[in-house]
């Protein structure tokens, strides 16, 4: 049984990594588009400051938007400020997999909005798949721990409830 569980775990961990790679490609595509289009803009106000990042920590794949702004200090040195854009939870059902586009449009100029919509649409689909993979991996971990307890002859806390 342990070998089968390891095979199943490897399948879902592999799929999670595939999702991460797909999201990373979207992030690179968005960054390349932004850099190219920003270079064509004369005014700072027309620059896109919206960024998209991908992180995989444990079983959690995070596809996040943030804003990057350049600031000058009193000595004239430039530094960047990063502001995470929170994904709102909608409705009584709990989480949603997509950002509210109005929240993203606050930080993106008109010319970049089609690309923002495309990337966020892809990201929402990937977030949903990643959530299901993560849930399965958590359940597998619980099952693996339970089987170890059974092999050791211990009673589980779940049995007592």
* Residue 36 pLDDT: 94
Those residues whose C-beta lies under 8 Å from the C-beta of residue 115, and which sit 6 or more positions away, are: 30, 33, 34
CA–CA distances in Å: residue 32 to residues 28, 43, 48:
6, 19, 12
* Residue 34 pLDDT: 94
> 127 has which bridge partners?
none
Condensed to tens digits (0 to 9), the pLDDT of residues 91-130 reads: 555 568 999 999 999 999 999 999 999 999 999 999 999 9
* Residue 69 pLDDT: 81
* Residue 161 pLDDT: 43
* Residue 156 pLDDT: 60
* Residue 158 pLDDT: 60
CATH number of this structure's domain 2-151? 1.10.287
Contact yes or no for 9/138 (Cβ under 8 A): no
Domain residue ranges in the chain: 2-151
pLDDT averaged over consecutive 10-residue blocks of the chain (161 residues)? Answer: 90 97 98 93 82 95 91 80 84 74 92 96 96 95 91 69 43
* Residue 47 pLDDT: 85
């Amino acid at each position: 049984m342990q070998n089968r569980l390891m095979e199943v775990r490897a399948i879902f961990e592999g799929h999670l990594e595939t999702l991460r790679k797909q999201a990373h490609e979207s992030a690179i595509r968005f960054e390349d588009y932004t850099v190219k289009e920003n270079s064509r803009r004369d005014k700072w106000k027309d620059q896109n400051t919206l960024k998209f990042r991908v992180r995989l920590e444990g079983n959690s794949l995070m596809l996040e938007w943030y804003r990057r702004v350049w600031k000058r200090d009193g000595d004239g040195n430039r530094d960047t400020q990063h502001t995470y854009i929170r994904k709102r939870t909608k409705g009584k059902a709990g989480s949603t997999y997509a950002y509210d586009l109005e929240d993203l449009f606050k930080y993106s100029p008109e010319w970049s909005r089609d690309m923002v919509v495309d990337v966020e649409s892809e990201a929402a689909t990937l977030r949903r798949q990643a959530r299901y993979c993560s849930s399965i991996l958590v359940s597998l971990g619980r099952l693996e721990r339970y089987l170890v307890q059974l092999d050791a002859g211990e009673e589980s806390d779940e049995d007592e409830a």
